[in-house]
Chain A
Amino acid sequence: MLLKRIAPQLIALAALILLVTLVYPGFLDISINDGRLVGPVIDVLKRGAPVALLAVGMTLVIATRGIDLSVGTTMAICGAVAAWAIAAGWGLVPALVLALAAGAAAGLWNGLLVAVVGIQPFVATLILMTMGRGIAQLITEGRILTFNHPGFAFFGSGTVLGLPVPAWLWLLTGAGVALLMRRSALGMLIEATGINRRASALAGVNATVLLIAVYVASGLCAALAGIVVTADIRGADANNSGLWLELDAILAVVIGGNSLLGGRFSILAALLGALIIQTIDTGILLAGFPSEYNLVIKAALVLVILVLQSPRIAAEWRIWRESQRASREALAERSRT
């Protein structure tokens, strides 16, 4: 059942890996160096962390029929807050807590605008998307705020049990949220809100609180992504941190087969979508194309994957197979008589 749900994503990922291996034969090589795993695949797991983390929160938001355009700027804000706290000598734990609090606050703001004020999610989160970079620049005072703190840098470049910490972060976040959603009724309630908010409210679901919680979750995921990016470059870049990553995150969710109309979601599939996007990015880099071609190749690959996954193609394929079977049976019927 689960395998069938994520089969298209797995096939797409396998085909991509095959394609990349053809142009860059060493893609699947993994070696152990200083107790840490090294290789392009590990690199995909590490570099895919920001989009994968964003995709977890975005999946929940999209499941409620919403969209969160502000996650990229939330990353920038949280990164700036963390870097500012570290540079000011607050220490590691307060810096992390502050960054997460900033992410939760951003999510709360979005959630209130959507659930209480009733602004369309696209517009509500567009407001923070416009303002956010300004806020992040305000915190860093327009500079790239650098710091040197080994404990904080660990979140970007550290290793645990051979795997990079960013990879652990998104794996654990994804698994944790997926378990929370599926082992409790939360997932079902979110889906109900996405299908029909009024009806679910009449059925006793506290849709307002649920919606706000979903945007807060998205903000927290963005905060984690912001921490990873900031720790990785040991500095907060208010202008470029998370720039346009909201689009990649939405793309990951959709490649994962989740409908933008909400009502049904799979975090696992969205994470696979994020891996597909990162494999495309890393593969293009490894294949050594001139960088001007990257976007065009990425667009073409994404289009091919989406076309192959499109519900209409699947429906036509099913109709074609049914008709094949029908004609085969008719043939068998005729040969019997």
Chain B
Amino acid sequence: MNTRALPLYATIVIFLIAYAICWLQFPAMLSTRVIGNLLTDNAYLGIVAVGMTLVILSGGIDLSVGSVIAFSGVFIAVMLRDSSLHPLVVFAMLLALTTAFGAAMGFLIHRLAMPAFIVTLAGMFLARGAAYMLSIDSVPITHPFYETMQDTYWLMPGKGRLRLIGVLMLLTVLAGMVIAHKTRFGASVYALGGGEAAARLMGVRQGRTTVLVYAFSGCMAGLSGIVFSIYTGSGYSLATVGTELTAIAAVVIGGTLLTGGAGYMFGTLIGVLTMGLIQTYIVFDGTLSSWWTKIVIGILLLVFILLQKGLLKLSQSRLAGGVS
């Protein structure tokens, strides 16, 4: 049995148990409507978490993504308001911009040997500031193309709606799985996260990999910004504050080690769905006030991490016992 995959299995098992508990309490939890909404509501988080997973696998961290999502929304809204460009053109411009932004951060991190935490923290201020400079107010997006995108869905059996952005999120996770686990670049990322010296000896081009990892994360944050703007139908510079921390939490819940080098992209999807499940449970419960929501999310996060740790320890000791 592959011991490296244990955290992933633990995550999946706990997610299924948690879902079963929710289902016992609210049988409607298993309906395709709830599942469809789970995908739609967490689409932007899932996409940004894919980029974050790769960054964390490489041993880094990207604190700028929440601000980049907000910037993307404002950028799209302002461009569509002030110019007659087609949304697809604006999307392309935005993705080029956020990818270049990510690449620039990766360049600084590598060339100046500065901690990723601090460089991306400055990037977080910069992107949020740029969003403020574009507009402080919420800018509505009214474009026929946006309405088409918002109304596109596939009706699942049981009247659940699988919307465009939900499908986009699943496709992104799939692409992330291919990149992380099937390509040479993915192998370089794992090697870099496993240890710089070893990676160098393996012939990994450190600088190139670092720049590409942050460029990828920037691109994903831009894509997530597009999805978020479709989801909310507007751009607002104060939106998605703290999303980077939610994304990091989702990645960690998904079984990826924050120190880098170990983890699976699929785990991140489970992590995102777990965060979504917690939110959905709180909505279903309906009696929790806004401050209790925060406390319950924290407690559930703790319980999840503790269970994961316990399960891991248990299976590892059993494994060790089997060998001896």
Contact = CB atoms under 8 A, between A and B. Distances in A.
B129 A294 contact: yes
A300 interface: yes
B195 interface: no
A179 to B, nearest CB: 28
**Majority-rule SS of A interface residues:** helix
Contacts of B111: 312
A107 to B, nearest CB: 16
B309 A137 contact: no
Contacts of B252: 120, 123
B290 A292 contact: no
A117 B112 contact: no
Interface string B114-127: 11011101111110
Interface stretch (A84-92, A144-152, A168-176, A301-309): A301-309
B130 interface: yes
A134 B298 contact: yes
B249 A119 contact: no
Interface of B is mostly: helix
B258 interface: yes
A322 to B, nearest CB: 19
Contacts of B122: 299, 302-303, 306
B291 A137 contact: yes
A119 B258 CA distance: 11
A142 B129 CA distance: 29
B112 A299 contact: no
Size class of the contact patch on chain A: 35 or more
Interface stretch (B141-149, B222-230, B300-308): B300-308
B118 A306 contact: yes
Of the listed residues A123, A132, A238, the one surrounded by the most CB atoms of chain B closer than 10 A to its CB is A123
A133 to B, nearest CB: 6
B275 to A, nearest CB: 11
B24 interface: no
Interface in A91-120: 113, 117-120
A74 B121 CA distance: 21
B115 A142 contact: no
Interface string B264-287: 000000000000000000000000
Contacts of B292: 134, 138
Nearest to A307: B112
Nearest to B61: A122
Contacts of A260: 115, 117-118
B295 interface: yes
B317 interface: no
Interface stretch (A14-22, A220-228, A247-255): A247-255
B230 to A, nearest CB: 26
Interface centre among B114, B121, B291 (most CB of A within 10 A): B291
Contacts of B125: 295-296, 298-299, 302
A296 B118 contact: no
B112 A293 contact: no
A68 B301 CA distance: 17
A293 B136 CA distance: 11
A295 B131 CA distance: 10
16 contacts: A126-B301, A130-B249, A132-B298, A134-B291, A134-B293, A135-B291, A138-B295, A250-B118, A254-B118, A261-B115, A292-B129, A292-B132, A295-B128, A299-B129, A300-B126, A303-B108
